[in-house]
Amino acid sequence: MVGNTCYTAPNELYRNPMPVVLHPFNAYANGSVSWAPRIMNLYTTPEAYGMEAWPWIDQLTLHESRHVSQLQMGKFPGLFRFFSTITGQLTTGALSAIYPGPALLEGDAVAAETALSRYGRGRSSDFLRYYRAAFDEGQYRDYWKWRWGSQKYYTPDHYKVGYMLVAGMRATYDEPDFTGIYYQRLDKYAMRFFNLQKTAKKVSGKQFKVAFREIEEHFHSEWRTADSLRAARAPFIEGTPVTSPDRLFDSYSNLVFRGKELMALRTGLQRSTELVSISPEGKTTHNRVFTRMGTKLETDDNGTIWWTEYTPSKHWEMESSSRLYAMDVRGKRTPVVKDRRLYNPAAGKDGQVAVAEYFPEGKTALEVFSGSELVDSLPAPAGPAFSLSCPEYCQSQLFPEQPSMALRVLESIFMRNFPGPSPFDQGEVQL
């Protein structure tokens, strides 16, 4: 089923099985399919910051298997196979960059994971939220501006515009086989330049630019219909700009208050990721250069900022950890806990902090530290349904003796593999 709308099934044109390697000792979530060598790498640690509401392994296998279907093109009869005979697996890697490119490859894989499951990123309101806001303000752009970005305007990554194109061809022009038609045309004639634009014209009957604008308008129309159903809840909270726009855009994330100041991570085209403080008047002050890997900031009553930071191993390429760090009001940065895989800190009183820990064997636990000392541990229920993500468990159940401990400690998602009431509610899991 993964390759039904991709012209070829996973590994269909190869005699030997596709090598699959699991990497359980990495501290971040990812997966990749590559040629030269032909291999699928799966990083088994689930996403800790922005987890989707379904098991990580399901998302990973669906998404990466779709990539295997896409990259069968190196074995298409004719010119592609001829070059593969001469250069080996290098041909497929080069062809994937020249023809479909990252946006179509990733967007199609997201569309596949969404269509072939009850979940998927395409069903998440967060995935296309910037487009939703942009279209409300009349900010339509052509496909290539969304794809390659802008120095003046923020642009989401290529996963989203690729998904909008593939899903839009299905929603707007009733063609679920857009990717399959794209590869079928390449199979019939390898030197088909501008194949994306020509495939879109074949499906829609219109020029690529016009077709993509109609896709944008279709999405906007659907979103406005959904918004009208929520109009009864008005009035909504209005937003007030805190910082002034710059000539080149900046992006702010991970906002937390420290006293009257707002702490945030700022990134943009003209600067690396940095920790900044924003005064009530909107003045932004640089504090220090910060990690670019996803993390969550947390502050305690003393003004100390807590976060976790991805750290690669000094010896092994496929091993890494996620350390717990703290920074006091003077700006001194201290590694508190090393050589563990810790995520989503939540600060309490007396310098204690709770974090979610994920182990290579697939278990999750809630750990409470006082400095570098482990004070308490709450193992998560066994089973594949319990996943690590942004913490949202009930404070009174997790920390009955520490009511000040933040709610954001551990988010347990009991999905279809783990039916029934929560073990926390039944008293089966206790501190």
The pLDDT value given to residue 51:
66
The pLDDT value given to residue 57:
86
Average pLDDT taken over every residue of the chain: 84
- The larger pLDDT score, comparing residue 365 to residue 196, is at 196
The residues with which 261 forms a beta bridge, in sequence order, are: 258
Q: Is the pLDDT of residue 323 over 70?
A: yes
What is the number of alpha carbons within 13 Å of residue 134 lying toward its C-beta? Answer: 16
Span 158-185, pLDDT tens digits: 999 999 999 999 999 999 999 999 999 9
Q: Is the pLDDT of residue 354 over 70?
A: yes
Strand, coil or helix: what is 340?
coil
CB-CB contact of 165 with 216 (8 Å): no
Q: Which of 52-56, 173-177, 201-205 has the lowest mean pLDDT?
A: 52-56
| Residue 268: pLDDT band with limits 50, 70, 90 | confident
Average confidence (pLDDT) over 60-73: 95
Span 369-393, pLDDT tens digits: 999 999 888 887 654 434 444 343 3
Domain segments of the chain as ranges: 20-231, 291-398
Q: Which of 210-214, 257-261, 367-371, 405-409 has the lowest mean pLDDT?
A: 405-409
Closest-CA residue to 89 (of 128, 130, 34, 141): 34
The pLDDT value given to residue 382:
56
Average confidence (pLDDT) over 313-323: 92
Work out the number of other CB atoms within 10 angstroms of the CB of residue 250: 18
- Among positive and negative, which fits the CA dihedral 5, 9, 13, 18? positive
Work out the number of other CB atoms within 10 angstroms of the CB of residue 115: 18
pTM: predicted TM-score of the whole model, two decimal places = 0.85
In angstroms, the CA 321 to CA 341 distance is: 5
The pLDDT value given to residue 381:
63
Question: Which residues, including other chains, have CB under 8 Å from residue 157's CB and lie 6 or more apart?
Answer: none
Span 114-162, pLDDT tens digits: 999 988 899 988 899 999 999 999 999 999 999 999 888 889 999 999 9
Average confidence (pLDDT) over 103-122: 93
**What percentage of the chain reaches a pLDDT higher than 70?**
88
In angstroms, the CA 108 to CA 249 distance is: 29
Strand, coil or helix: what is 310?
strand
Work out the number of other CB atoms within 10 angstroms of the CB of residue 191: 8
| Residue 202: pLDDT band with limits 50, 70, 90 | very high
| Residue 294: pLDDT band with limits 50, 70, 90 | low
DSSP string, 5-54: TSSS-TTTT-SSPPPEEEETT-SS-EEEEETTTTEEEEE-SPPSSS--SS
Span 394-404, pLDDT tens digits: 333 444 444 33
